[in-house]
Amino acid sequence: MTKGFTIWFTGLSGAGKSTISALLEPALRTRGCKVEVLDGDVVRTHLSKGLTFSKEDRDTNIRRIGWVCQVLTRNDVVAIAAAISPYREVRQEVRKMIGRFVEVYIECPMDVLVERDTKGLYKQALEGKLDHFTGVSDPYEVPVNPEITINSDRDTPAESADQIMRWLVENGYL
């Protein structure tokens, strides 16, 4: 049986966090892992409903996700968190709380994110019509030393999931 750990995806909206998580989940289950995915959008709907996009509320949201991941991890579940989590300090805080923590930074250039954005949110934010949009009108602090960096503009989601699985095997998580 695999000891629990958390895979923490961070990156801008549209970078591929949810897509890669959805591929990683069955790959981990195939290896006999118990897995739970905490997708940022779903968590905001159920666990963090009513929070705004202020820095304080964003930090509260990430701490809530981190707490759930910590509970899952200590119960030998692989927790996958896929949330923008824009601030380094709170990511470090949840890393310390959880312990067995693998930070995966999904990197993607702004022009590709704008192109992928079917809702037009980047366009609105870049035109100044949408406030508090991470990476445009609100900051995103790139991780300093993530365990894994994925370039989602170059690698397919399947290649990215494979890269993460290889890293987990090579580093004794699986």
Catalytically active residues are 85
Task: Look up residue 65 and give its two tokens.
Answer: 């996700």
Between CA 157 and CA 9 the distance in angstroms is 13
- 105, 11 in Cβ contact below 8 A? yes
Between CA 52 and CA 63 the distance in angstroms is 14
Sign of CA dihedral 49, 116, 59, 55: negative
Between CA 114 and CA 41 the distance in angstroms is 19
Between CA 49 and CA 8 the distance in angstroms is 21
Which amino acid type is present at position 112?
A: V
